Amino acid sequence: MTKALPLIRRGLLAAIIIILVVVWVAPTIWAFVASTRPPTEPVSRGDVWFGTHFSLASYAKAFSLAPFGRYFFNTVVLVVMVFVVQAVTVTLAAFAFAHFEFPAKNFLFMFILLQLMIPTTALLVPNFSTIRFLGIYDTILAIGIPYFGSAFGTFLMRQAFLGIPRSLVQAGIIDGCSWWQLLIHVYLPPTVPTLVAFGISSVNWHWSEFLWPLIITKSSEARPLTAGLVRFTQLGEIGARWSLLSAATVIVILPLLIAFLVFQRRFIQGFLHSGLK
């Protein structure tokens, strides 16, 4: 009986994991399946999955209704811009907290981490007022500015920097390295996987964000993919055509899903190297 307990526990754990995976994946699978239904076949009770035949007409219709090319361009510019700036700011901040000693260092670090406890919606009004004051409303820059600093990224990189052997740092100091040489040649090389993992998280977050881009933009010239989906709710001819809405949703999430599948090993390794368990 005692030998069977570990097997029972593993079986229960596996069953729970499978149930959670199915619950998490089911909406995504449904979106893919529903997007291939013929546009003329409405979704009704008891008939929410497959249509009478496979059709890609909804994708063609979605591309004709919205400038997805422009939305993709805006989104790529946004996520690249935000990550490049974040890579600089979080790396420098993490290096300062990991390498230097200065008054109130722990207090300042905890103050930065307080950002993680503030809901994003609580900052919508002050951020919007700031953007209007700067005169950059309805621009890609306006979407990205509030995220140029990241408390999570600072914490992640600091944890990775603290894992660098002190003997290696001392050797660099003895050799006459300046602070920026220590950062580039001693701290950064072993922590590249952590920076990559943070980059994947940053791209995922800003690619999927909806509310802030919707508030701070009003035209297709600046809107990213997620905010561009609102266009489909504003077209009266669409109604409840779920195949079309599903096709538009798949167009938005597919690049991100492929990127995650490609870089998932690097993503996991980055968090393991950061010291987070």
Summarize pLDDT for 4-38 with one digit per residue, the tens: 667 777 778 888 888 888 888 877 787 787 777 77
pLDDT for 270 equals: 57
- Write down the pLDDT at residue 238: 47
- What is the distance between the alpha carbons of residues 194 and 188, in angstroms, rounded to a whole number? 10
Write the pLDDT tens digit of every residue in 119-176. 777 888 888 898 888 888 988 999 989 888 888 889 888 888 888 888 888 888 888 8
Measure the CA–CA gap between 120 and 131, rounded to whole angstroms: 16
pLDDT in tens, 223-245: 888 887 776 665 545 455 677 77
Give me the domains of the chain, ranges plus CATH numbers: 67-228 (1.10.3720.10)
Q: How many CB atoms lie within 10 A of CB 15?
A: 10
Cβ-proximal residues to 201 (8 Å cutoff; 6+ apart), any chain: 152, 267
Please give the Cα distance from 213 to 225 (Å, whole number): 10
Read off the pTM: 0.79
Instruction: Provide DSSP, 108-130.
Output: HHHHHHGGGGS-GGGGHHHHHHH
Burial (CB count within 10 angstroms: exposed 0-12, middle 13-18, buried 19+), residue 227: buried
277 band by pLDDT with thresholds 50, 70 and 90: very low
